[in-house]
Amino acid sequence: MKKFNITPVDRSIEPTIKDKIDNLTKPKGSLGRLEELATQIALIQHTLSPELLHPHNVLFAADHGIIEEGVSVSPKEVTWQQLSHFSKGGAGINFLCEQHGFQLVLVDSGVDYDIPAGHGIIDLKVRKGTRNFLHGPAMTPEELDLCIERGAGVVKDIHVTTGCNIISFGEMGSGNTSPSAVWMHLFTDIELEKCIGAGAGLDSPGIRHKCSVLSKAVANYNGNDDAESKIAWFGGYEMAMAMGAMMQAAELGMVILVDGFIMTSVILAASRFYPQILDYAVFGHQGDESGHKRMLDAMGVKALLHLDLRLGEGSGAVCAYPIVESAVRMINRMDSFQSVNVTKYF
């Protein structure tokens, strides 16, 4: 698998950052999470004056063989239909990107459909959907490697051509809460049942069926005990590309805005190779999918928002962007007590 040079953030300037924030014209600690965010972003960029440049949301789309087992209410064709919809500008992620100044990048990672050229969709299709992991590995090791390479390439191109230094990732793939739940279970040791939710809208019998299918799939696993084998066996092409993209973003020192349940499972998997990737991650939204809070808790992180979203597409991450922007404006735009000759009042 492609190797990345992801270094932990250099914390040598952390006391200086803290001193600057503590001496802004406010009671110490009174801007709470904004102060934490400003510190994190200043550490990532190793500066007392961080900036956010050319935000992008990259949406990877692919289909999943496990959907053949009835684990989702969304039929497979919804994946390509929605990807096409995104390209026309009328979906949820479109208005959010427009509102918050994000460039939306669409990538076909493995959609089971021949999408015509000319729609502004980057064709990086590995295969027309993964295999059914109830019966065997969803993807081969070679396909996983290709996904990592291609996802990383997308981010590198964006960074080089636009100077983007903050990026979020979204996904579209009917049934992809199933591989995400399995990754969560395998990489946190949380009981599988507690990792499984309604996805796009399963009722209680549907959730029980989904749990039964995924339990059998995990019991049938006969691969190696390493993270790479488990990721390939149960993953999706869009998830693997997003993982490569996140690793590349961290190597480049970019801020990674993490979306909901699926993208959290992706960075969880990435952290099994590079634990320091979490230094670069801002968790935008705690989704409504059962298990997401448990996964965040297991990683020792907290999301900025909890809006009961379960759309995916990067929607929660993009919604959280104004809060990140406020943190950066705070450290750059607020006066210090010394500069305006105001007596400290704490």
Catalytic residue among 35, 251, 289, 313: 313
Q: How far apart are CA 43 and CA 36, in angstroms?
A: 11
CA distances in angstroms from 11 to 26, 35, 239, 273, listed in the order given: 24, 16, 31, 21
**Quick check: 108 and 150 in contact, CB under 8 A?**
no
Angle between helices 315-333 and 14-22 (to 10 degrees): 70
Using alpha carbons only, what angle is made at residue 71 by residues 67 and 72, rounded to the nearest 5 degrees? 80
- DSSP codes, 266-302: HHHHHHTT-GGGGGGEEE-B--SSTTHHHHHHHHT--
CA distances in angstroms from 67 to 22, 129, 208, listed in the order given: 52, 10, 15
Q: How far apart are CA 187 and CA 295, in angstroms?
A: 10
18 alpha-carbon distance from chain centroid: 28
Q: How far apart are CA 48 and CA 98, in angstroms?
A: 29
Token reading at 241: 């590309």
The kind and range of the H/E element at 57 are strand 56-62
Say which amino acid occupies 253: G
The kind and range of the H/E element at 169 are strand 166-172
Residue 149 annotated to the active site: no
**Quick check: 298 and 182 in contact, CB under 8 A?**
no
Catalytic residues, by residue number, are 313
